[in-house]
Structure formats: structure tokens, C-alpha cells
Amino acid sequence: MEDYILTARPSQTELRAINYIIKKFLAKQSYKLTSITLSQEVLDQNLDNWADAGSVFSEAPDMISLYRYFYNVGSNVKLHEVEAKLHQCQQDYSSSQQKYRELDKKCLSLTNSIKEINCDRENLLQKIDSLQNRLEEKQKTLTSSTDGLQPEKPVPDPEEQASASLEVKEEVEIKQENEIYLVPETAKVESEKIPTDDAQNETTNVTSNPLTSPLPVVDPTEEKITSIETPRDSRFIILENLKNKRYRFSNNSLLKKSTEDMSRIASEIEEIVSMEKAVQNVVKVVARCLPHLVPGVIFNKREELLPIFLTVIQYHPSSSVRDDLTRLLFNLIKKPNEEQRKMIMDGCIALASLIGLQRTEVELLPQCWEQIPDKHEERRVLVAESCGVLASYVRSDLRPSLILSILVQLLDDRSALVREAVARNFGHLICTFEDGEKYPKVQEAFLRLLYDSESTVIEAAQRAFFPPLLDWIFCLDGHCGRFLTAWLKELSSLLKGPSDSHGRTRDPRWEKAGVLNESLRTAIGRLWQNVLLSSPLPLDQNIPLDQTQPQTSSPPSPDLSAAFHALPFQQHPRQNPLVPRKDVLLSIEQRTKLERHLEEMLYKNLQQDRDFWRWIGDDAEIVLPKPPPAMWEALRRFFDFIGELIELLTHVDVPSQTPAFLDSMASLLTCICWETGSIYTACFIRPIFRYHMEHGVNTQQGAIKRARLFPFYLGGVLVLYRDAEILSYLRTTIVNISLEEEGWNHSQISTLNQALRLVCSLSTEKKVAIISLLWDLVVHPNTQVRVTLLQIFDNLMSLSTAAEISSRILPALITLSNDVDKLVRIKSIKPLGNIIIAVPEDVIMEKINAQFDLILDDPSHTLILEVLQTFTSLVPQVKGRFREKCILPKLISLTEKNNQHNNPIQRGEVARALYDTYRAFTGYALSEEAANKWQIPGLKLLLMDEELDPTLKTSISGMLKEIEASLPESSYIPLPSPATLSQAQANLNNNLNMARAQWMGLFNKK
């Protein structure tokens, strides 16, 4: 072995360790050049770092220590001595452990035996006392009898005596085997034959049990009676003890299992008997028994132990025992449900209020840390709830540090139930913060919960986290400027930031922005009430609630009065059940008083500063509103927030495929206007919108800003006013877009459609009012206005019911499809086709089919192409009946007419459109009648078109073969020869005329 060690090649780890030791020696001995040279030669190792040597052991000693160890002490002698001593110590330790275990077993066995002996002794003493009492009663009874009465001497039964003697022997043998002696061996009953005629042998000496005290004999009569009764009593004692002992041995296996528990219970009982009458002594006993009681209680009933746990934890003097019981309290129920968690938390609150701050921090809070990695989500929810309810019972410096860190750690939990609990308890925690040092961390946690993938977590963040967050900020700053600024910054980063879609259809940025808007909307009422509460306005002044105008020293000017009261709000168009309309900080009377004071303050400012009302009213100037001087800090911050929000919306292009963001932002603006009131909206919010929408409108940038703000202005602000104002503004906008006036152009129709969708989605009444407005514009003299209406009607179909489409939209489209202007008729074709998709009813299909027949009476080339393109898009989306009864007959008629067209260019365009429409039928099953009567003849006619591309003809031939192969042979129609083509065309014309007459008859009946 030693030869192998000397000759074996060093490993890589050994070489690196030696390099490190040598480098260290050279550096310590000031051999700098040699040390540098060694470092340069060893390129794959950092010679100044022992960890780079790759060894898992601690750093090796230097070279001097190694030299002295090997040459001065010796390498083997000392080591062998130490190893020998170590081996001897290990053997001694093992033998000692073995002896200790054997002695421990013997000690336990002896202890159990002693306890059993004591128990049996107590039983025997009780039975002896009972027998003595019985003897005394019998002696008294015999003494009171007549002196001349002599009892007969009973003759003992030999079998009975033999049985008693046998049982005594068995008792002695059993007790010798188990080292438990209830009766000495001398206690046996002698079976003697007692003669009846011998007076001296009337008494029999029976050796009694030394544990029993024999009664004194007072006279010969009593002595005789004792000699008669004693054998029976002794036998009774022996038999009873033997019976108990046999029962004990028959259940020996059960006793062995519970020996330890019985010995523990016995020791507890002995301590109860001997302990002093003090509360802490009782608490100690209960504390020792509780861990053994809990496993025997079913899970659904363990909450009954909570009062006992709380009492023992409160009064027990030992901190270690209290820690164990507190841990057991948290683990009392494996998966506590909501009610059980609430009960446990109520107990913790009661305990924290009793034990004080210090013990709460030392004993209760550590349990939170221990339960965080638990595999059951219900236990982790318990941790989050404890952080919220116990925050008021710890020192103020621990709340933003220890407890906050626990909740932040639980933000990454995989369970939505835990994250929901975190959101709720964040609201409880921040209510106890005394400064704003942790505001950035709290805001980050709020945003993470707000962007959660689970709707329950988002709702908890909005309802339970956000309102306390606003109140906390108001307590810190006196206003919400800090939060509103951070909110705008977050929204701006989402709207202006890069796309996160990564090729997906939906962009998560807009979804997050929608959630952000919704969160502020849910709390805008509380935010405005905080603004009112922070005002210097008097709250105790009595103001009649039925007052309609604020009282001022002098009446305002007529212009100002009209501006203030001409446009009151109607009922709120958006009633979200998530945020009930109620005042949580102010009563209705208090809020009304403060709002009236605010109106009065605005009146006074208007009277003092005539420039203030330049932007108010219909004839207002395009001026950016300024805050009045009397605004307090919170109101001024709120005013700045609205201006910055509207300014932000002017820089954002909202895609049409993100309706959720449009709805959320419009809803937010509606809530802001509703909470602040019509006066504030008329004085500030509407003028800010008007400024951004009309300032520089003649420039391209100004027109883009107006198009971006228009949906929010119409769907978020104007919806609060009377329908007449909305319709007037909307009518003007539609006309301006159609005529491209006032900076509007046709490209902004999509913006108009977005705004109309927002308004129509609010209520049926709004939608009916807008459709009535569009009906009024159907007869507008300008053609472009009527064309714009067709696009608007087409957009409204997705928001309308079948009844609304058939009763309101379809008649308008039919009217426009019969317009005198060809452009209007052409633009009406696509909306008519979309009605078939939206309402696939037979009555509607018949009306649309008849209207297409009327449209095709016009031989216009552009109109025919539009019809064919519409048919191509309808084939995959409509019912088979419409395909066979409407589209296919019209295709064969158009094919026949196109074959006779004189213009080769237009003929080729129509032929290509016909081919696309026929190709759209591929993959859809048609009836044999439709295939033979319409599809195959139409394709054959198209195949004969001379202007058709040869490549397309090859494709048509393939289509014909597939169709004919799918039909039965009996229904196959061969290709007509040129000689019979004229006759086939005549028959075809007759079929078309008959079909048209049939459809017209049905339409007239309807």
C-alpha cells in the first residue's frame, strides 16, 4: 500500500493543492519573482484562492508546518497511537451504550412491576376492609341473639375444600412467576374433617393473611362463628384476586402496548394528588397532556380545544413548552377551512391581546416562518391571515420589516388561494404603518397582485388592498399625488412600451392596462371623498339638501349660470356590481354639503377672474383650463392628474382588437365625471378634452390627437348627459367625417365605430337612440353621408339582437340598396350579405335573396364584381339552403351573361371572380339536384369562356371530375355538345325565370 502511495501519479486536485501551497510559501518568504513566474506558468488556476484548487476540505497548512510534522513528529507512530486510542474509545462507547440500553429496559420493567404491585396492594387493602366490615356486622347480629341458641356445625364439603386448596396453590404459582405476591404461601385452607360430637374440635385454627388484621374473639360463641365463616371469606378473597389476575394475563399484549401511557398517566395522577393548589401547577399538567389528547380528537372537532390551548399558552411559565404548544396550535387541523381558519385567528388575536407585544413577537410570529413551506395551501393561507390580524399586536418597527417580508415572500406562491389571502391581508397590514418608507415596496406588491392571472386575486387586490392603500397615502401626504403620479407612470409604460405579444393575437400590455384602469375606477369614489375631506371647507354648516343653486353674495352672470346648470347629469350609465354606490368615508349629507361648498367656491372664482370662464360653454375659446387659486393641495393634484391622463391618451394608438381597454378607460372617465359632479366636469374636464381635440386640428398631428381622444370623450364623458346632446354631437361628427370637413377624413370612420360601440354597449336606450339618428340620416342629400351610414350599420350588427337587425337595420339597408346613386347601391351589398351571417333565419334569407335579384338587374361591371366578392365570403358562413337556392342560381345566370360580354377585359375579371366563388364551394356537400341543376352546368359554361386563363380551365375540369365522381351514376349528366348548347341555354333561362318568380312570390307574401 505504501509503495502504491509513493508511485501513484498525483491527481489533478493534488497538483492544484501543491501549486497553491508552493505559491503561498514563495510569497511568504519574499521570493516574488519566482512566485510571479509560477503564477504565469500555471494558467488554469488562481493560485491565490484555495477554493480554485477544487478540494472540498479546509485550507491545507503551509509548507513549513508540513515539513515539521513529517520530520519532527513522525508520520506513522503518532498517527497509529491516536487511531488506537480512538478505536478503543469507540469500543468503550459502544459497550457503554449497550449497557445503558439494557439497564434502561430493566429499569422500565422494574418500574412497571412496582406500579402493578402497588395497584394490587391497594385493591387487597380495600377488600380486607370490606370483609372486616361484613364480619363486624355478623358478629353484632349473633351477639344480639338468645344465649341458649347454639348454631349447627356445618360439615365442610371435601370437594369444595379441595377446590379451594387447588386454587390457592395456583395463585401462589402465578405470583411466583410474576414476582408479585398478594398472599403468602402459608395462607392455605386445611381441609379437615370436623366431628360434630367433640366440643374441643368445634373450633378450627385457620391461618389468616398477615395483610389482614384478625378481629379479637370476645366469647366462645363468637369464636365458633368466626371459625365457621373465616374459611369462606378467605376463599372468596383468593378466588377474586385469582380471577382478576387471570384477566390481566389474558390481556398482557394490550397492556404492554399501553404500559408507557399508563405509567405516564399514573405519574400525572400522583402529581395531581400531591401538588399544591396553584394555577400554574394545573397548567403544567394540562400542557403535558394536551399533545397526547390532540391525536385522539377527530379533525372536525379539534377547534373545541382552542380555549384550552389559549389558556395554557397564556399561563405556562416555560417558554419552550409555550413554543411547542403554539406550534401545535397552528398544526391543530391539517387542512383548516375558512371557518376553522377564522376560529384559529380569533384565538390568536385573543392570545396576542393577553400575552403582550414581546411574547407575540417571540412566540407567535416565528410560527409564521415555519408554515411558509408547508405543502397544504390552507396552512399557508393561515400564515398570510396571521400577518394581517397580528400586525396590531407587535412593535411598529416589525410591521414594515418582518411581517411585510413574509407577505412579499408569499406573493410567489403557486396557489391562487394563498395569493388572494395575501392581497386581503396587505390591506390590514398597511393600515398599521406609521411612515411611508416602504411605499415603493407596497406599490410593487400591489401591481403584482393586480396583474395576477387569477380573477379572484385581482378582485381581492381591488376591493381589499387598494382602498386602504389610498387611505394610507392620504394620511402620509394629505393627498394622493404620489399614487396618482405612480399610476400614470405605470400606465404610460404599458401603453408606450414595446409589445409583449411575441406573435400572439392578444397583447398582454392592453390587458394589464385594462386591469389598471379598472382598479382605479373601483376606488375613484373613495379617492374623491378623501379629496373633499382634506378641504378647508366647513363641514358643520347646515345647508338644505333640496337646494339647487349655491348661495353667493351676488347672483352670477347669465352666461355662467347657463354654463353651470344647462347640462345636468342623467342617471349613471354604468352600474358595476363590483363597486356598490355608497359612501364609505362620508355620509350622504356630509358629502352633499362639501360638494355645495365646492360649487360656491367655483362661483366666487368665476366672478373674481373673468378669464376663468373663457373655456366654458358652447362658444368657449380653445384655451387650456387652469386651476383656480382657491384650490387646496389635494384638489389641485387631482386636477393635474386628469390633465396628464388626457394628455397621455393623445399619444396612444389603441388597436381596434382591444375593446377591453377602451371599455375600461371610458368607464374610468365616466366614474371620474360622475364622482366629481356636473359642475366640475363642465368647468374642467370637458374643456381639457375640447382643448386637446380642437387645438391645431388643421394640422396632421392635431387631427390624429382628436381621433385618439374621440372614443373616450364620447363614450366616457358625453354619455352622462342627455341623449339630445350626444346625438347632436354625433350627427355633426358623422357629417364632418363624410364630407371631410373640420379636419375630419374618411380614414377616421374606424374611430367613429369604436366610439359608437362604446355608447351602444352601455344600454339598449342609447343604442335605440343612435339607430334612430342613423335612420334620420338615411335620407341625407349627400351621397357620401349615406355611404358612411352603410359602414356604421355594418359595424352595429355585432352589437344588435336579431329582432333589432330585422326591424331596424335591415329596412335601412334595403332602402339604401335601392338608392338612386350607384355608389350607395354598391356599398350596400356587403352589409346585406353580413345580415345573412348575423341572422340566419329563413324570412331574412328570402328578403336578402329578393334584394340581390333587384341589385343584379343593374348590369354595372363594378356592382357585379362586388356581388361576386360578397358571395365568395358568404359561401363558408351561410346555411346550405342559401347556397343552393340563392347563390348557385345567380352564379349560373352571371356566367351566362358574362360569356356574351363584348369587353374582353371586364369579361376576364368577372370570369376570374366567378371561378373564385365556385372554388369556395369546394368541401361543402350539395344535394344531387343542386349539383346537377346549377353547379355542374355553371362550371361547364364557365369552362367555355374564351377569356378565361387556361390554368383556371384545367382547375375547373378537375373540379367537374370530383363533383361527377361524387354523384351516383344514375344522376350523371354528360357534357353537352355544341349542337345542343343553344337548347340548354334556353332551358336554363326558363329555370332562372321560374326560380325568380318563385322567390318574388314568397317575398311578396312576407
DSSP state of 580: -
pLDDT at 774: 92
**CA atoms of 713 and 687, how far apart (whole Å):** 11
pLDDT tens, residue by residue, 600-624:
777 676 666 555 555 555 555 566 7
Mean pLDDT for the stretch of residues 686-703: 85
| Confidence tier at 425 by pLDDT (50, 70, 90) | very high
**CA atoms of 826 and 62, how far apart (whole Å):** 98
Which pairs count as long-range contacts for 293-296, CB under 8 Å and 24+ apart, including other chains?
Answer: 294/328, 294/332
pLDDT at 995: 59
Q: How many helices (H) and strands (E) does the chain have?
A: 46, 0
Lowest mean pLDDT among 167-171, 304-308, 608-612, 867-871: 167-171
Other C-beta atoms lying within 10 Å of the C-beta of residue 913? 20
pLDDT tens, residue by residue, 54-101:
766 678 888 888 777 666 554 445 556 667 788 888 888 888 888 888
Question: CA nearest 579: which of 498, 703, 502, 670?
Answer: 670
**Statement: residue 428 has pLDDT above 80:** yes
Question: Residues with Cβ < 8 Å from 312, sequence gap 6 or more?
Answer: 283, 286, 287, 290, 325
| Confidence tier at 570 by pLDDT (50, 70, 90) | low
Which residue's entry shows cell 331596424? Answer: 808
| Confidence tier at 408 by pLDDT (50, 70, 90) | very high
Other C-beta atoms lying within 10 Å of the C-beta of residue 769? 17
**Statement: residue 826 has pLDDT above 90:** yes
684 contacts 717 by C-beta, under 8 angstroms: no
Question: CA nearest 359: which of 389, 319, 392, 411?
Answer: 319
**Statement: residue 125 has pLDDT above 80:** yes
**Statement: residue 250 has pLDDT above 90:** no
Q: Containing H/E element for 166?
A: helix 158-178
Question: Residues with Cβ < 8 Å from 607, sequence gap 6 or more?
Answer: 552, 554, 556, 560
Alpha helices in 818-903 (DSSP H): 822-827, 829-838, 842-855, 861-874, 880-882, 888-899
**Statement: residue 247 has pLDDT above 80:** no
Report the amino acid identity of residue 583: D
Among 221-235, 297-311, 527-541, 787-801, top mean pLDDT goes to 787-801
pLDDT at 612: 54
Question: CA nearest 485: which of 638, 650, 689?
Answer: 638
**Statement: residue 470 has pLDDT above 80:** yes
Mean pLDDT for the stretch of residues 684-692: 87
**Statement: residue 562 has pLDDT above 50:** no
Which residue's entry shows cell 385469582? Answer: 242
Mean pLDDT for the stretch of residues 838-861: 89
**CA atoms of 959 and 258, how far apart (whole Å):** 90
pLDDT at 261: 55
**CA atoms of 152 and 149, how far apart (whole Å):** 10
396 contacts 432 by C-beta, under 8 angstroms: yes
Mean pLDDT for the stretch of residues 723-737: 91
pLDDT at 256: 43
DSSP state of 155: P
Mean pLDDT for the stretch of residues 148-154: 43
Among 98-107, 279-288, 500-509, 962-971, top mean pLDDT goes to 98-107
3-state secondary structure of 373: coil
602 contacts 535 by C-beta, under 8 angstroms: no
Mean pLDDT for the stretch of residues 385-399: 88
Lowest mean pLDDT among 4-8, 119-123, 429-433, 993-997: 4-8
**CA atoms of 483 and 494, how far apart (whole Å):** 17
pTM for this predicted structure:
0.64
**CA atoms of 1002 and 236, how far apart (whole Å):** 115
Mean pLDDT for the stretch of residues 874-888: 88
Other C-beta atoms lying within 10 Å of the C-beta of residue 638? 23
DSSP 897-923: HHHT-S-HHHHHHHHHHHHHHHHHTTT
Lowest mean pLDDT among 26-30, 62-66, 425-429, 855-859: 62-66
Question: CA nearest 522: which of 572, 472, 575, 579?
Answer: 579
More confident residue, 671 or 762: 671
Question: CA nearest 932: which of 963, 905, 901?
Answer: 963
pLDDT at 221: 37
**Statement: residue 118 has pLDDT above 50:** yes
pLDDT at 6: 55
pLDDT at 371: 81
792 contacts 734 by C-beta, under 8 angstroms: yes
**CA atoms of 843 and 111, how far apart (whole Å):** 100
**Statement: residue 767 has pLDDT above 80:** yes
**Statement: residue 151 has pLDDT above 70:** no
Other C-beta atoms lying within 10 Å of the C-beta of residue 1005? 7
853 contacts 1000 by C-beta, under 8 angstroms: yes
pLDDT at 814: 92
**CA atoms of 873 and 883, how far apart (whole Å):** 12
Which residue's entry shows cell 385573543? Answer: 350
**CA atoms of 639 and 154, how far apart (whole Å):** 120
**CA atoms of 205 and 690, how far apart (whole Å):** 129
And the C-alpha cell for 696? 391645431
Mean pLDDT for the stretch of residues 635-644: 89
533 contacts 683 by C-beta, under 8 angstroms: no
CA-atom Rg of the chain in angstroms: 51
Report the amino acid identity of residue 7: T
**CA atoms of 398 and 417, how far apart (whole Å):** 25
Burial of 580 (0-12, 13-18, 19+ CB in 10 A): exposed
pLDDT at 272: 56
Q: Cα-flanking dihedrals φ and ψ of residue 729, to 5°? A: -65, -40
| Confidence tier at 573 by pLDDT (50, 70, 90) | low
Question: CA nearest 864: which of 876, 852, 874?
Answer: 852
Q: Report the percentage of the chain scoring pLDDT > 70.
A: 72
pLDDT at 791: 92
pLDDT at 999: 54
Using alpha carbons only, give the angle 569, 547, 574 rounded to the nearest 5 degrees.
20
Task: Count how many residues are written for the chain.
Answer: 1006
**CA atoms of 457 and 2, how far apart (whole Å):** 70
More confident residue, 870 or 679: 870
Which residue's entry shows cell 392635431? Answer: 702
And the C-alpha cell for 576? 358595476
788 contacts 745 by C-beta, under 8 angstroms: no
pLDDT at 546: 37
pLDDT at 210: 36
Q: Report the percentage of the chain scoring pLDDT > 90.
A: 17
3-state secondary structure of 11: coil
Report the amino acid identity of residue 252: N
**CA atoms of 817 and 711, how far apart (whole Å):** 29
208 contacts 229 by C-beta, under 8 angstroms: no
Report the amino acid identity of residue 34: T
3-state secondary structure of 697: coil
DSSP state of 566: S
Lowest mean pLDDT among 181-190, 263-272, 325-334, 574-583: 181-190
pLDDT at 583: 41
pLDDT at 996: 59
743 contacts 697 by C-beta, under 8 angstroms: yes
480 contacts 474 by C-beta, under 8 angstroms: yes
pLDDT tens, residue by residue, 773-822:
999 999 999 999 999 999 999 999 988 888 999 999 999 999 999 999 99
**Statement: residue 149 has pLDDT above 50:** no
Could you give the C-alpha distances from 834 to 123, 762, 797, 953, in angstroms and in order?
101, 24, 8, 31
Q: Cα-flanking dihedrals φ and ψ of residue 949, to 5°? A: -60, 135
And the C-alpha cell for 541? 354648516
Alpha helices in 319-465 (DSSP H): 319-330, 338-359, 365-371, 377-389, 404-410, 416-430, 439-450, 455-460
Question: Residues with Cβ < 8 Å from 915, sequence gap 6 or more?
Answer: 942, 948, 952, 955, 956
Q: Containing H/E element for 982?
A: helix 978-1005
pLDDT at 423: 94
Question: CA nearest 749: which of 738, 764, 762?
Answer: 738
